[in-house]
Amino acid sequence: MDGIERKGGSEASDRYPSRLECRGPRNKPMDLSIVILAAGKGTRMRSGIAKVLQPIAGRPLLQHVLETGSQLQANRLVVVYGHAGEQVQAAMRGFQSQATLLWVKQEPQSGTGHAVLCALPVLPPTGKTLILYGDVPFITTQTLQLLLEKSGCGLSMLTMTLQNPSGYGRIYRDHGRVLGIVEEKDADAHQKLITEVNTGILCVDNALLHAEIPCLNNDNAQKEYYLTDLIARVVARGIVVDTVAPQALWEVEGVNDKVQLAALERDWQKAQAKRLMLQGLTIADPLRFDLRGQLTHGSDCYVDINVIFEGQVTLGNHVHIEANCVLKDCVIGDHSRVRAMSSIDSARIEDHCLLGPFARIRPDTHLESGVHVGNFVEVKKSILGRGSKANHLTYLGDAIVGEAVNIGAGTITCNYDGFNKHTTQIDAGVFIGSNNSLVAPVHIHAGATTGAGSVISKDVPENTLAVGRSRQQHIEQWQRPQDRQNKPSDH
């Protein structure tokens, strides 16, 4: 009924070699498996989205754990799921890793030991396994690396000491040596006073897992198969269990509801802000800073409040980002300034550029040195050459703009005919008057000028003035409609 296939303890134990060969053949890297327990229902999230898909720092909880596993050069990442398996697998379909991603269903959920039992068939007989959790997103590779090193030829686990240990499994020791873990619900009054607790994360030799996990029982207060019982069983073999502590609490914190999700997000963001500030980045307020990817920066960069960094963002030296900007997958060169309320997505901005306020830079845009893009200007899939300016109320899409071009206010590249996108080419030194419609495909050659209000639908030769608007007329003695009806105006 519980889905666990029981094996005789001594028989299973006999299969475990007395002397462990944990290094493997020379020059062959150790085989590493990562088992991610994620079968919990996550009812407290009160969401139609599976718990492990809830976003934190811009990505699903589970994705953070998978990425960490990948960075450790794991051979396989095994996700033990119980609910919404299809939804979770679909969401992770785009995940790229050199490791093999395997999905194991646990039904019913009979405890953490049972979850590992379900994964056992896909774990090789040798090598090591790290046990992680789908709802503990920020465990670092550094801590796990240490845990791996400390595991030697047996088992190591991540523990921490808390002032209030309630709810956690307690680590009991004798003269400093780990003897086992007792769950809160099974602990006596004396054991409940222990402040060293189990984070749940551990590293264990596969040979030990294969020998001991099938022997776990559910003879406890919760009638569950506890993974934590593995510790005492390993100790009984004469193996010394080593422990490692996380660098920060947020590394091992899990989330059960949206309150915890937001609290963990903020703890992590504060830690990222601190790390970046210690590297020399000026952050106006670390409590209003959001990193949802990776940020690299040169010296003397300034980030004002409420800036969101997504994906891979690189800032050069002396870059200034004003308040309320969203910067995604972009490179911004030295001495450039992004003024308030601007959005940049997948673009390359060179040095000494000035953007915004309220600029929208869309994918595949390249702004060369000294370009100015002002308020309410949208640029998509365009190149703007050195020193060119589009300062107000403009849309440039699929445009190739040369150097020192001035684009007047209210200019629109009409790049879409309802079916195809067409290119607008504007060569060096062109002056586009205000409120122009540039009907693509169209080529405005070097040094040309277009009159304000023009609709430019034909190529403009070099150094000419193009005026594409109806001539102004004057109708004399003309009367407004209300005058003709002899009614006084309301105004």
Write out the binding residues for ligand UD1, residues 17-46 only, by CB under 6 A: 37-40
The answer to the question of residue 92 lying near ligand UD1 (CB under 6 A) is no
Cβ-proximal residues to 79 (8 Å cutoff; 6+ apart), any chain? 36, 38, 62, 66, 88, 92, 101, 102, 103, 104, 134
Write out the binding residues for ligand UD1, residues 67-86 only, by CB under 6 A: 80
The answer to the question of residue 58 lying near ligand UD1 (CB under 6 A) is no
Write out the binding residues for ligand UD1, residues 240-269 only, by CB under 6 A: 254
The answer to the question of residue 183 lying near ligand UD1 (CB under 6 A) is yes
**377, exposed or middle or buried, with CB in 10 Å at 0-12, 13-18, 19+?**
buried
CA atoms lying within 13 Å on the CB side of residue 490: 0
The answer to the question of residue 181 lying near ligand UD1 (CB under 6 A) is yes
Cβ-proximal residues to 342 (8 Å cutoff; 6+ apart), any chain? 322, 325, 326, 355, 356, 357, 358, 359, 360, 361
Query: In this chain, which of 64, 76, 83, 114 binds ligand UD1, going by CB under 6 A?
Result: 114
The answer to the question of residue 425 lying near ligand UD1 (CB under 6 A) is no
* Residue 196 vs 322, nearer CB to ligand UD1: 196
Query: In this chain, which of 60, 69, 111, 246 binds ligand UD1, going by CB under 6 A?
Result: 111
**Closest chain position to ligand UD1 (CB):** 169
* 373, containing H or E segment: strand 372-380
Query: In this chain, which of 200, 356, 433, 468 binds ligand UD1, going by CB under 6 A?
Result: 200
Of 12-20, 197-205, 396-404, 423-431: span binding ligand UD1 (CB under 6 A): 197-205
Q: How many residues bind ligand UD1 (CB under 6 A)?
A: 27
Please state, in angstroms and rounded to a whole number, the distance separating the CA atoms of residues 132 and 117.
Answer: 14
Query: In this chain, which of 70, 112, 129, 436 binds ligand UD1, going by CB under 6 A?
Result: 112
CB 217 within 8 A of CB 226: no
Query: In this chain, which of 60, 127, 154, 169 binds ligand UD1, going by CB under 6 A?
Result: 169
Residues composing the chain = 491
Please state, in angstroms and rounded to a whole number, the distance separating the CA atoms of residues 119 and 257.
Answer: 27
Query: In this chain, which of 33, 198, 269, 415 binds ligand UD1, going by CB under 6 A?
Result: 198
Closest C-alpha among 316, 432, 301 to residue 377: 432
Please state, in angstroms and rounded to a whole number, the distance separating the CA atoms of residues 466 and 449.
Answer: 6
Question: 3-class DSSP state for residue 349?
Answer: strand
* Residue 2 vs 242, nearer CB to ligand UD1: 2
Instruction: Work out how close the CB of 230 gets to ligand UD1 at its nearest, in angstroms, rounded to a whole number.
Output: 9
Q: What's the alpha-carbon Rg for the chain, to the nearest Å?
A: 32
Q: Is 443 a catalytic residue?
A: no
The answer to the question of residue 356 lying near ligand UD1 (CB under 6 A) is no
* Residue 52 vs 456, nearer CB to ligand UD1: 52
Write out the binding residues for ligand UD1, residues 122-151 only, by CB under 6 A: 133-135
Write out the binding residues for ligand UD1, residues 292-351 only, by CB under 6 A: none
The answer to the question of residue 171 lying near ligand UD1 (CB under 6 A) is no
Of 104-112, 366-374, 396-404, 474-482: span binding ligand UD1 (CB under 6 A): 104-112
* 196, containing H or E segment: strand 196-205
Please state, in angstroms and rounded to a whole number, the distance separating the CA atoms of residues 62 and 37.
Answer: 10
Which candidate in 318, 335, 392, 422 is catalytic? Answer: 392
Distance of CA 417 to the CA centre of its chain: 36
Of 7-15, 198-206, 321-329, 367-375: span binding ligand UD1 (CB under 6 A): 198-206
Of 111-119, 326-334, 388-396, 415-423: span binding ligand UD1 (CB under 6 A): 111-119
Closest C-alpha among 57, 56, 55 to residue 91: 55
The answer to the question of residue 226 lying near ligand UD1 (CB under 6 A) is yes
The answer to the question of residue 197 lying near ligand UD1 (CB under 6 A) is yes
Distance linking the first and last C-alpha atoms of the chain: 85
Please state, in angstroms and rounded to a whole number, the distance separating the CA atoms of residues 195 and 165.
Answer: 5
Q: Facing residues of 397 across strands?
A: 380
CB 156 within 8 A of CB 147: yes
Binding site for ligand UD1 (CB under 6 A): 37-40, 80, 106, 109-112, 114-115, 133-135, 168-169, 181, 183, 197-200, 226-228, 254
Residues with catalytic roles = 392
